[in-house]
Amino acid sequence: MLASTFVVGGVNVMRNTSAAAERAKPVTDQIVELSHKYAPSVPVPTDPKTLVRLNAGVQIAAGLALATGRAPRLSALALAGSLVPTTLAGHRFWEEEDPGTRSGHQTHFFKNLSLLGGLLLASVDTEGRPGVAWRARRAVGDVRRETKHLRQTARREAKLAAKSLKA
């Protein structure tokens, strides 16, 4: 259910790329500028339409992956990453003059913030299975216990062997 909004939203953006690109232009310009500044070797498209299509493609693909349970942690993380520029581009309520429009964008902004929280939780969810860190800590504890047991057994056997040699 969490994924449905991204699939539908991504499809809508693909159908109406021009309007979405126009709304996203202030954000896409900043993304391009930052990418050239901090990662000049990474080929980032400069055209807002291309960036908007890429983001929509990520939302569709990751949304479908999350909905079908394929790589759910990775797809949730990808959706979280795509949601940030989407929200900043589409719901800039602080720039709106009209109170009704501002209120609508503010509601959508905080709804997306809530979705972001849900996606971040989904990205760390292990579906009841312990994560790698827990398994590593558990393995270390198991090795320590086994080593202690083997040490005690070896001492006991050595004492028995020493007694049998004396007798």
Q: What is the mean pLDDT of residues 12-17?
A: 95
| Per-residue confidence (pLDDT) for residue 148, from 0 to 100 | 95
- The pLDDT tens digits of the residues spanning 56-76 come to 999 999 999 999 989 899 999
The four Cα atoms 80, 84, 89, 93 give a dihedral, to 10 degrees, of: 110
| Per-residue confidence (pLDDT) for residue 164, from 0 to 100 | 87
Q: How far apart are CA 152 and CA 140, in angstroms?
A: 18
Q: What is the mean pLDDT of residues 129-137?
A: 77
| Per-residue confidence (pLDDT) for residue 138, from 0 to 100 | 87
- What ranges do the domains of the chain cover? 4-124, 131-167
Mean pLDDT score of the chain: 91
Q: What is the mean pLDDT of residues 24-39?
A: 92
Residue the block writes with tokens 């500044």: 37
Between CA 120 and CA 22, with CA 85 as vertex, the angle to 5 degrees is 155
Q: How far apart are CA 29 and CA 24, in angstroms?
A: 8
Phi-psi sector, 45: left (phi>0), alpha (psi -120 to 50), beta = beta
Q: Which of 30-34, 127-131, 163-167 has the highest mean pLDDT?
A: 30-34
Among residues 49, 56, 48, 63, the alpha carbon closest in space to that of 4 is found at 63
pTM above 0.85, yes or no: no
